[in-house]
A and B are shown apart, each in its own frame.
Chain A
Amino acid sequence: MQVINLNRFLVAATMGLVVALGTAGCNPKITRVSSDAVTDLSGKWNDTDSRLVAEEMIQDVLSRPWLNRFSRKSGKVPTVIIGTVRNLSHEHINTRTFIRDLEKALINSGEVEFVASANERDEVRSERRDQDLNAREDTRKAMGQEIGADFMLKGSINTIIDAVSGEQARFYQVDLTLIDLESNRKVWVGQKKIKKTVEKSGFRF
């Protein structure tokens, strides 16, 4: 009796081990979700935060008096260049995601124009220089014809974190400012505050 039981146990154990090791190498589970589904995994800055910031800023910037004031004074649509958005927070945050969303919404609304930022225009300028040498006369784009921006968009992200062992309260504040390039006047300030609490469990398997 003892022998049979031991045999069965050994067989069962080996089978169990084989199954466990075998399934470890199987394909991971992938689920496609919509790009605006909320997926909070670690409590850190994620795409939902970026989307909330972009939505708030877009809605705010187009509804403030600076736009009309500028159009009335100069008779044209304002031109904006993107400056630096400083990361003064506790995380390595990619600020480009919500800045790009803002850019896209404003350009597509037709009320604001953008020119290439300092990082982007180096490539454009070197292409123009290349055209000067290599392109046909009538298709060459002349140097010195860039449009000077009227406003610069700058900003910063700040965080306040309160923590005890296992629990954190994270507060993010994103500030964006439009500065008149001629007079240094700040014509618009947008702000978005986000707060999250994160609880880590004390035990796991």
Chain B
Amino acid sequence: MDKVSIRLTALLAVSCLLILQGCTTAAQKSAGMRQFLEQGRPDLALVEVEKNAEKEGDVMENMNRGILRSMTGDYQGSNDALEKAKNEIEALYATSITKQAGAVIVNDEAISFDGDRFEQVLIHAYMALNYLAESDMDAAAVEIRQADVKMMEWGDTPEEDPFMRYLAGIIYEALGEDDEALVSYRRAVEVYKATNDKQGLGVPLQAKKDLLRMLAKNGLWSEYKQYRKELGMQQYQAPNDKGYGELVVVFNNGLVPQRQMKAFQTYSSELALNIRIAVPDYPNPPSYVNQVQLNVGPVEKLLEPVENLDGLARAALSSDMPVITARAIARAVVKKKSEKEAGDRGGALGQLAMLVLNTATEIADTRCWNTLPQMIQVGRVFLKPGQYDLKLNVIGRTGAVVDSITAPVSIVAGKKTILNKYWVAPRPYAGNVAGSNQTAAAPAATGVTSN
């Protein structure tokens, strides 16, 4: 073996070791955290995420820290993390030329993660909900306005998030700005119709009722009649809510699916060879989402789904798939050529070393905001002022109650009390019904397939 090939092999072996350390997919790195969540232990999941403290500005880390801190009641800390994620996304706005080049040489993780559009908008939703938990209505409204500007920048209706508009309506109503609330509710109904193919929810009944109620409150009777007919709500009568306060419960149910890596062979006509590419994928069908029953005072009703994040995540991935696949194929061509180069320089050994390196670095970009819920459900009740004990019963597939969340609420006349709750799996302490197979989350799938 001549000196050139020894040196080349040494170089490649060293770089192999260095790069292989970073070649676990994001899905594999998050598996521990998601497992804790699926066991109903968000506190342990938070500890797991806080271990990656050195990734100070990383968008995905901060998004996850945000939700997990909010789950454990640290609203200020949650907003700090989400604010960092927001600022980093702002900084990543410009497309990095060197990172795009890196993606064609190594793998897609060279491109800094800045979230899909629905994830970027939902940061504002969760920050607003945190501010509401701290009773800072004005700050929650600031977040709503920022989300509005963000969606304005994108321009098209299908990219708008209907839950964001609906939440905006709730917050403006709580601030007493009924005209703003009406604009938001109207927009929410329009966007629900436009995104029905992604979310499959149609227009939620609660959203229809709120639009009609706001139209009645603002005295726009002809539009009220028109919408009543259009939304199929001819029986609806606007309630007289004088002297009542309103309880709004926002329930984050389950976990959004984790992107997994899917590796397969395809034929490249340019090289006249079979090449192996790895792309992200959602291998499992959507999990079952538990119904949640709201019990407060004399009222007992089921919460209604208002945002299907599972659907949004899948739609976002499938719209990106053409670009991802094209880049993966280009990358495979570049890698095969580099192997040939190495073979010319360093013989069979060099080519083998390059092949190992290329295969090891060919991982799919499975980064996503994986602590988001699978479904957001909302329930609204008008109640007489006073102190109540709220009980949220999570109902399993068989109809039995698998878990129960209680919270004291105080209702003030003319004001709204907005609660934000998270639930992934039955919590392993007193208060839940013993049942081994009644979890809502999907089993953690190992998605790394070999050739």
Chain A interfacial positions (CB closer than 8 Å to B): 2-3, 6-7, 10, 42, 86-92, 159, 161-166, 168, 200-205
Q: Is the CB of A86 within 8 A of B138?
A: yes
User: Which residues of B are found within 8 Å of A89, using beta-carbon distances?
Assistant: 142, 145
> Could you pull out 24 A-B pairs where Cβ atoms are within 8 angstroms?
A2-B4, A3-B4, A6-B4, A6-B7, A6-B8, A10-B7, A10-B11, A87-B139, A88-B138, A88-B141, A90-B142, A90-B145, A90-B149, A91-B146, A92-B139, A163-B149, A163-B152, A163-B153, A166-B93, A200-B93, A200-B94, A202-B95, A203-B95, A204-B97
Q: Is the CB of B153 within 8 A of A205?
A: no
User: Which residue of chain B has its CB nearest to the CB of A89?
Assistant: B142
User: Which residue of chain A has its CB nearest to the CB of B147?
Assistant: A90
User: Which residue of chain A has its CB nearest to the CB of B10?
Assistant: A10
Q: Would you call B3 an interface residue if the criterion is a C-beta within 8 Å of the partner chain's C-beta atoms? A: yes
Q: Would you call B270 an interface residue if the criterion is a C-beta within 8 Å of the partner chain's C-beta atoms? A: no
A42 to B88: give the CA distance in the assembly, Å. Answer: 12
Q: Is the CB of A87 within 8 A of B97?
A: no
Nearest CB of B to A159, in Å = 8
Q: Is the CB of A205 within 8 A of B98?
A: yes
Q: Would you call B288 an interface residue if the criterion is a C-beta within 8 Å of the partner chain's C-beta atoms? A: no
Total A-B residue pairs with C-beta atoms closer than 8 Å? 58
Q: Is the CB of B94 within 8 A of A87?
A: no
User: Which residue of chain A has its CB nearest to the CB of B92?
Assistant: A204
Nearest CB of A to B247, in Å = 25
Partner of B97, one of A163, A166, A205: A205
User: Which residues of A are found within 8 Å of B230, using beta-carbon distances?
Assistant: none
User: Which residue of chain B has its CB nearest to the CB of A87?
Assistant: B138
User: Which residue of chain B has its CB nearest to the CB of A3?
Assistant: B3
Q: Is the CB of B155 within 8 A of A165?
A: yes
User: Which residues of B are found within 8 Å of A159, using beta-carbon distances?
Assistant: 145
Within 8 A of A (CB), among B110-160: 138-139, 141-142, 145-146, 149, 152-155
User: Which residue of chain A has its CB nearest to the CB of B96?
Assistant: A204
The B interface is mostly helix, strand or loop, or mixed, namely helix
User: Which residue of chain B has its CB nearest to the CB of A5?
Assistant: B4
Interface size of B by CB at 8 A reads: 23
Partner of B94, one of A7, A88, A203: A203
User: Which residues of A are found within 8 Å of B54, using beta-carbon distances?
Assistant: none
A84 to B398: give the CA distance in the assembly, Å. Answer: 53
Partner of A164, one of B3, B94, B98, B153: B153
User: Which residue of chain B has its CB nearest to the CB of A84?
Assistant: B138
- Listed from nearest, the 10 A-B pairs whose CB atoms lie closest are A204-B94, A90-B145, A163-B153, A161-B149, A201-B94, A163-B152, A200-B93, A3-B3, A87-B138, A204-B96
User: Which residues of B are found within 8 Å of A201, using beta-carbon distances?
Assistant: 94
User: Which residues of A are found within 8 Å of B4, using beta-carbon distances?
Assistant: 2-3, 6
A203 to B100: give the CA distance in the assembly, Å. Answer: 11
User: Which residues of B are found within 8 Å of A86, using beta-carbon distances?
Assistant: 138
Nearest CB of A to B345, in Å = 9
User: Which residues of A are found within 8 Å of B8, using beta-carbon distances?
Assistant: 6
User: Which residue of chain A has its CB nearest to the CB of B177?
Assistant: A88
A161 to B152: give the CA distance in the assembly, Å. Answer: 10
A92 to B146: give the CA distance in the assembly, Å. Answer: 10
Partner of A90, one of B7, B97, B98, B146: B146
Nearest CB of A to B331, in Å = 21
Nearest CB of B to A29, in Å = 18
User: Which residues of A are found within 8 Å of B153, using beta-carbon distances?
Assistant: 163-165, 168
User: Which residues of B are found within 8 Å of A7, using beta-carbon distances?
Assistant: 7
Q: Is the CB of B7 within 8 A of A202?
A: no
Nearest CB of A to B433, in Å = 43
Partner of A165, one of B11, B96, B138, B154: B154
Within 8 A of A (CB), among B8-46: 8, 11
User: Which residue of chain B has its CB nearest to the CB of A165?
Assistant: B153
User: Which residues of B are found within 8 Å of A42, using beta-carbon distances?
Assistant: 90
A177 to B11: give the CA distance in the assembly, Å. Answer: 71
User: Which residues of B are found within 8 Å of A166, using beta-carbon distances?
Assistant: 93
User: Which residues of A are found within 8 Å of B93, using beta-carbon distances?
Assistant: 166, 200
Nearest CB of B to A135, in Å = 37
A154 to B287: give the CA distance in the assembly, Å. Answer: 52
User: Which residue of chain A has its CB nearest to the CB of B100?
Assistant: A203
Interface contacts beyond A10-B11, A200-B93, A205-B96: sample of 5 additional A-B pairs, CB < 8 Å, sorted by A? A90-B146, A159-B145, A165-B154, A203-B96, A204-B95
User: Which residues of B are found within 8 Å of A168, using beta-carbon distances?
Assistant: 149, 153
User: Which residues of B are found within 8 Å of A6, using beta-carbon distances?
Assistant: 4, 7-8
A87 to B139: give the CA distance in the assembly, Å. Answer: 8
Nearest CB of B to A107, in Å = 28
User: Which residues of A are found within 8 Å of B141, using beta-carbon distances?
Assistant: 88
A-contact 0/1 string along B76-103, CB 8 Å cutoff: 0000000000000010011111100000
Q: Is the CB of B97 within 8 A of A91?
A: no
Nearest CB of B to A8, in Å = 12
Nearest CB of A to B353, in Å = 15
Q: Is the CB of A92 within 8 A of B142?
A: yes
User: Which residues of B are found within 8 Å of A205, using beta-carbon distances?
Assistant: 96-98
